[in-house]
Amino acid sequence: MRLIVGLGNPGAEYARNRHNIGFMAVDAIAHRHDFPAWRVRNSGLAAEGEIGGERVMLLKPQTYMNKSGACVGPVARFFKIAPADVIVIHDELDLAPGKVRVKTGGGVAGHNGLRSLAELFSNDTQRVRLGIGHPGDKDRVHGYVLGDFSKAEQTGWLEPLLDALAEAAPLLVKGDANGFATKVALLTQPPKPRKGEAAPAT
């Protein structure tokens, strides 16, 4: 079984925060692949289903971001899921909005959710880093990540990105990280102008 964890904070007041893009991603995957309703499991919300013929559990820790490992560790150990089979989806300040990178392990770069996972579970999970951009000043980071996506961000790149992640999820589950990242990039490319039309302004 694969475990796909979306990182975020529980509660309606955080639901549209940039920091909660991990929750948004697993919600999109659950919807696209017809997972059953979420249910409480060890301080988290979990749903089990199939993606591309593979058994998958989706998990949204309800412990708040900085205690994510307290939820993920016990769930993974109970189901005997090795760190190599755990995929963590999280926000990434150091990537441009809408960009996606996949890596295994590495530093936590000040991300409290990753730090908690490293301390209470493992640092050897696969990570899907979803770019949210940087506010430009480290003193503004806290308010930025806990701020809501703007309407322009939602329609401009967030919704297309979430759709692409859900569509490409079978490649991720099968271990084809490069194929997954490539497919997401292709699906989120702006449409090419038709002959005789000007390219859209950027």
* Intra-chain end-to-end CA distance of the chain, in Å: 42
The 10 Å Cβ neighbour count of residue 36 is 9
- Do 30 and 47 form a contact (C-beta atoms < 8 A)? yes
Tokens of 103: 């890596």
- CA distances (Å), origin 83, targets 57, 104, 119, 192: 14, 10, 13, 40
Tokens of 49: 């289903």
With contact defined as beta carbons under 8 Å apart, do 57 and 94 qualify?
no
Under a CB-based contact definition with an 8 Å cutoff, are residues 9 and 147 in contact?
Answer: no
Q: Is 19 a catalytic residue?
A: yes
Which entry of 19, 33, 90, 111 is annotated as an active-site residue? 19
Q: Which residues are catalytic?
A: 19
